[in-house]
């Protein structure tokens, strides 16, 4: 249960930061806001966590005779980190998408294991974050486009901020029910 609460709170804090991010956009663009989807160092930090987490799950799936490939999976993580840093564009947006997908998968499992009240609403939030994560991973320029849309139309900025604030409230409060 503590790992479920910690992961849910961590994802809720990420959603809260995104709500603040979109909420600040109508006040005027700042250079760091426009460059956030392509931020390499933040993407490297978050992407490293995602690659290690994904390698852990890959090793779990390789069982029996396939366990001899665990070493290969573990060796691909540092190679993948270096290659992603130098060759992937929109690294932070992709890493954020991967983090959303991994967290949504784990949290949907945990919410049913721990028999949390209001599982349906919590699962819908996780599903929405997983779909957002798929878009961020596959088409990371949508993150940049959402920033540009929020700059042009403050109503969209408020809508994105409100949506991520709702996600944050559900993710932070729901595990305690």
Sorted by where each begins, the domain ranges of the chain are: 2-38+90-176
Q: What is the pLDDT of residue 29?
A: 64
Provide the b/e sequence for 66-105 (b: ≥16 CB within 10 Å).
eeeeeeebeeebeebeeebeeebebbbbbbbbbbbbbbbe
Q: What is the pTM of this model?
A: 0.91
pLDDT, tens only, 97-110: 999 999 999 999 99
Q: Which residues contact 5 (CB under 8 A, 6 or more apart)?
A: 175, 176
**Contact yes or no for 12/172 (Cβ under 8 A):** yes
The residue ranges of the chain whose pLDDT is under 70 are 28-29
Q: Take residue 2 and report the two structure tokens written for it.
A: 């503590």
């Amino acid at each position: 249960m503590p790992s479920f609460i910690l992961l849910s709170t961590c994802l809720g804090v990420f959603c809260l930061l995104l709500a603040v991010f979109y909420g600040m956009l109508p006040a005027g663009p700042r250079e760091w806001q426009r460059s956030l989807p392509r931020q390499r160092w933040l993407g490297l930090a978050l992407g490293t966590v995602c690659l290690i987490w994904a390698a852990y799950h890959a090793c779990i799936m390789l069982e029996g005779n396939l366990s001899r490939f665990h070493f290969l999976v573990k060796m691909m993580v540092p190679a993948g980190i270096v290659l992603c840093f130098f060759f992937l564009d929109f690294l932070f947006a992709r890493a954020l998408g991967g983090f959303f997908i991994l967290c949504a998968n784990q949290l949907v499992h945990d919410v049913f294991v721990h028999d949390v009240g209001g599982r349906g609403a919590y699962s819908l939030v996780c599903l929405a974050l997983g779909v957002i994560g798929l878009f961020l991973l596959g088409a990371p320029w949508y993150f940049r486009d959402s920033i540009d849309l929020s700059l042009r139309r403050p109503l969209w900025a408020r809508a994105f901020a409100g949506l991520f604030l709702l996600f944050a409230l559900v993710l932070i409060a729901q595990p305690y029910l």
